[in-house]
Amino acid sequence: MSFKSELLKVNEKLAQKAIKLRIEKRGHRLSIRGPLPCEDNPNETKDQRISLGLEPNAINLAQAEKTLNFLYLQIEHNQFNWRNWSPIKSNLRQKKDQSKIEDVIDEFKSDFFNDPKKSSSKSSSRSNWGSSYLPYLQRLKVIAAKQNRKLNKSLFIETLKSYSENSRSRQQCGSSLKAFGDYCKIELPSNWRSLAYGYGLHKAQFRQLPSDKQIEKIYEMIPNPKWKLVYGLMATYGLRNHEVFFCDLSCLKKGGDKILRVFPNTKTGEHQVWPFHPEWIEKFQLNDISHEEGFLPEIKTDLTKTTLQNVGRRVSEQFRRYQLPLTPYNLRHAWAIRTIHIGLPDTVSARMMGHSVSIHTQTYHHWITRRDQQQAVDKALSA
């Protein structure tokens, strides 16, 4: 029997006993993970981990199971005390302090892919790691190497500030480093979120967003029918670059409800999108999709061999090749603003776009504020 099977068997046995603690393999070591009393408030529990420092083999697995049962008995009889386990727990922290930054990033990566709370789709996790974490952790590592810096708060701040203010890269860097900082138990500044803020559209982008008439004219500039379809789908449904290739287009066939379903293996998982404007379905010939395959451009979409980021990059490259006077994300932003103007609730619009309401509000604050103020003025004038 393989070690993986043995580990699964042990954890299933624990589950049958209604024990919520589990043994997990992280890199080349075994750990106990589950709800454990908080150090500062023993009456509360949270998901925590104790590294056992044991290599993953059958003998050590048996030892880990005995240790877990002993730990569980301590918790059940209110005898658990972190001081009794701190030598084990502090080993991992000490290792983080003394080891190379690259090693800590590797441990964080292992934790990321083994976290049961994250997407069950391996391809989605790979793509998320490659686009949302790796570039920013690599930059942190490069800055640390150049300046012989340690893994501390000042290094995190310097890495964040290496990105332009009010840029999406800076916002994403802030989110990624926040998760990494929590893992390393590095306390970041209380204003970290405001330092990282930058997802929203800045003034230059205000002027770049195309009008609906411009979007319709640009559509005619595309010579290839398959790429016309990509453009039309993004304009009508506000899709991300890669989502065009990972959604159910059968709704556009004759008799379909025209409500697009984006597949769960995309960046933010499954969600449904309505067309705005509905008449663009006909104008952009989206209802001409046949029952045969091959109506989209031939792009490698096997996520065991590529990533969502690579698929999205192909779309951006094609827009530049055709010298279109906008970016794919301009179409997505224009769709969002369209829904604001027609009065679609922000929670609904955010859900259709596959992101949180807070991100939606930050990004489109200018237009949402104007809409809300206009509604208040209209209400006052009609009173």
**Percentage of residues in the chain having pLDDT higher than 70:** 89
Q: How confident is residue 65, by pLDDT bands cut at 50, 70 and 90?
A: very high
| 34 pLDDT more than 70 | yes
Kindly list the distances between the CA atom of residue 213 and the CA atoms of 208, 219, 223, 292, 338, in Å, as whole numbers in the listed order. 14, 10, 19, 31, 13
Average pLDDT of the residues of the chain:
85
Lowest mean pLDDT among 37-41, 192-196, 224-228, 292-296: 292-296
pLDDT value for 191: 82
What residue spans define the domains of the chain?
3-98, 113-196, 206-379
90 falls in which pLDDT band (50, 70, 90)? very low
Residue 305, pLDDT above cutoff 50 = yes
Report the range of poorest mean pLDDT among 102-106, 265-269, 311-315. Answer: 265-269
Q: Give me the architecture of the 206-379 domain, per CATH.
A: Orthogonal Bundle (1.10)
Phi, psi of 50 (to 5 degrees): -120, 115
**Residue 91 pLDDT exceeds 50:** no
d(CA 330, CA 165): 20
Contact 23, 106 (CB under 8 A): no
Closest CA to 137 of 111, 168, 160: 160
> Strand pairing partners for 74?
none
Predicted confidence (pLDDT) at residue 367 exceeds the cutoff of 80: yes
Question: According to the model, what pLDDT value does residue 364 have?
Answer: 85
Q: How far apart are CA 353 and CA 364, in angstroms?
A: 12
Taking only the tens place, the pLDDT of each residue in 322-364 is: 999 998 989 999 999 999 989 899 999 999 999 888 888 878 8
Q: Per residue in 122-133, pLDDT tens?
A: 667 787 888 889
